[in-house]
Amino acid sequence: MTEGRPGERLRVAIVDDEELARRLLREYLAAHPDVEIVAECANGFEAVQAVAEKEPDLLLLDVQMPKLDGFEVLELLERDVPVIFVTAYDEYAVRAFDVHAVDYLLKPVAPERLAEALARARARAAGVPRRPLPLAEIRAAAHAAPRPLERILVRDGSRVHVILVDRLDYAEARDDYVCLRSGGKEFLKHQALAELEGQLDPARFVRIHRGYLLNLDRLAKIELYAKDSRVAVLSDGTQLPLSRAGYARLRELS
């Protein structure tokens, strides 16, 4: 049943929150001697951690899972890991294609379909040299559906923070990163401020300055501190610079 070349092992991580679904994949994979299961994860957090630690060659990834869904897991990965989606939902197929999934298997899974998908993964591993992960595309696809964004995911080593957009006070541009301020805590995310701005609800988040994106709910008042120069004062007392263009945008919204 295996088409793997001798010595070429395929190191696989199974990610599914249902024990029985993992068991089924385990059983099917046992028929492929070149496949080695290096990790079994019951949720997205575990998957992100397992990819970092075990560096699998292939992810068998469910979409609907606690904490992080399959697409969010991909967004947080920093390595280009080939993925086979395994889900009962057919509506994610287009998004899966957009993130360059190797294959898309529907539950209940047929062993022949899994074998086909594995063959495709082996061909990809053997043939095309690894191209860099198309991070921007993956991010765009990951957020293709729920727009505007409701939660922001931040990776911190092997940990993942989930910041609800409601709780985000403001975001500040810092070189290649954005610094997200939420309830007195700071989170650094590798993303451009303009990209984040595009993902958030423009009626709630306003670019008040080249370097600052503000949650309007947090704005307490605007103070004039010099001629033609203003600061935005947040409800917790934080002061943020307010550019002329930013002031104009705020006035447009109010």
Instruction: Say if residues 156 and 119 touch (Cβ distance below 8 Å).
Output: no
Look at the chain and count its residues.
Answer: 254
- Judged by CB, which is closer to other proteins: 23, or 244? 23
**CB of residue 133 to other proteins, shortest distance in Å:** 23
The residue whose two tokens read 């559906």 is 145
**CB of residue 163 to other proteins, shortest distance in Å:** 8
**CB of residue 248 to other proteins, shortest distance in Å:** 32
**CB of residue 181 to other proteins, shortest distance in Å:** 17
The residue whose two tokens read 């990834």 is 61
Could you give the strand order of the β-sheet that contains 239-242, starting from the edge strand earlier in sequence? 219-226, 229-234, 239-242
- Judged by CB, which is closer to other proteins: 89, or 97? 89
Please state, as a whole number, how many other Cβ atoms lie within 10 Å of the Cβ of residue 202: 12
- Judged by CB, which is closer to other proteins: 109, or 138? 109
- Judged by CB, which is closer to other proteins: 107, or 218? 107
Instruction: Provide the token pair at 78.
Output: 């920093």
Instruction: Say if residues 12 and 22 touch (Cβ distance below 8 Å).
Output: no
- Judged by CB, which is closer to other proteins: 14, or 208? 14
Q: How far apart are CA 18 and CA 203, in angstroms?
A: 39
Footprint of other proteins (CB under 8 A):
17-21, 23-24, 27, 42-43, 45, 64, 66-67, 69, 88-89, 106-109, 145-146, 150-151, 162, 164
**CB of residue 124 to other proteins, shortest distance in Å:** 25
Torsion sign (Cα): 10, 11, 15, 21: positive
